[in-house]
Amino acid sequence: MGYLIELDVYQGPFDLLLDLIGKNEVDLWDIPIAAITEQYLHYLYSLQEKDLAITGEFLVMAATLIRIKSRLLLPQEPLEDDPEDEKGDPRTELVEQLVRYKFFKKAAEFLQHRYEEAARHFTRGDHVESFDLTPVYTEPFGSVTLHELGELYHHLLMELEKEPLVHTISGKISLQERLALVRLQLV
**pLDDT digit string (tens) for 113-138?**
988 888 887 766 555 555 666 655 55
Rounded distance between C-alpha atoms, residue 40 and residue 3, angstroms: 8
Q: What is the pTM of this model?
A: 0.38
pLDDT tens column, 92-115: 666 676 677 777 878 888 999 988
For residue 86, give every residue at least 6 positions away whose Cβ sits within 8 Å of its Cβ, in sequence order, or none.
Answer: 78
pLDDT of residue 16: 61
Tell me, what DSSP letter sits at residue 4?
A: E
Q: How far apart are the first and last CA of the chain?
A: 65
- In the chain, domain spans: 4-121
- Sequence-separated (6 or more) residues with CB below 8 Å from residue 28: 21, 65, 68, 69, 72, 91
